[in-house]
Amino acid sequence: MEQRRAGLVREPMVGLVLAGVAAVAWAGWLGWDQQRDVQADGSTTGPYQAWQVIGLVLTLLGPLYWAASRRHIGAAVAGIPLGLTVCAYVDWSDDASGLFVIGVGMVLLGSLAATAAVTAVAARAGRATAPRGDRL
């Protein structure tokens, strides 16, 4: 009974830690770049470059694998998208057109789908490689 109660407390804590890790990773990879790039033809791109988004994704793979391999499936699937969505909302909410909400929704749905898929693979790999006593 005591172990089950500890698990009920541990899962939300892991989710909050993962949300915090995602927020710090967002700040490190995307938070500092706020200017759009003007191309020679007058069009604008950005503010993020592909390498920044790839770096963010690769940074989050480690914590995601850690949580999924220890059977914190709900925390892994919910924590990282929560952190990314909150950061996207805070970062983009100064858009006067209001269209930032669509982008924030896309971040939520995309990160949720990707995190769920990677979590399923990581949980399966973690179960196959973990010693018997480490499967909590």
Task: Give the pLDDT band (50/70/90) at residue 53.
Answer: very high
| Residue 135 pLDDT > 90 | no
Which tops the pLDDT comparison, 17 or 135? 17
Rounded average pLDDT over 124-133: 66
Rounded average pLDDT over 52-69: 94
Domain boundaries, the chain: 2-34+47-134
Do 79 and 16 meet the contact criterion of CB atoms below 8 Å apart?
yes
Residue that is written with structure tokens 């020679």 in the block: 40
Do 74 and 81 meet the contact criterion of CB atoms below 8 Å apart?
no
Spatial separation of the C-alpha atoms in residues 119 and 61, rounded to whole Å: 9
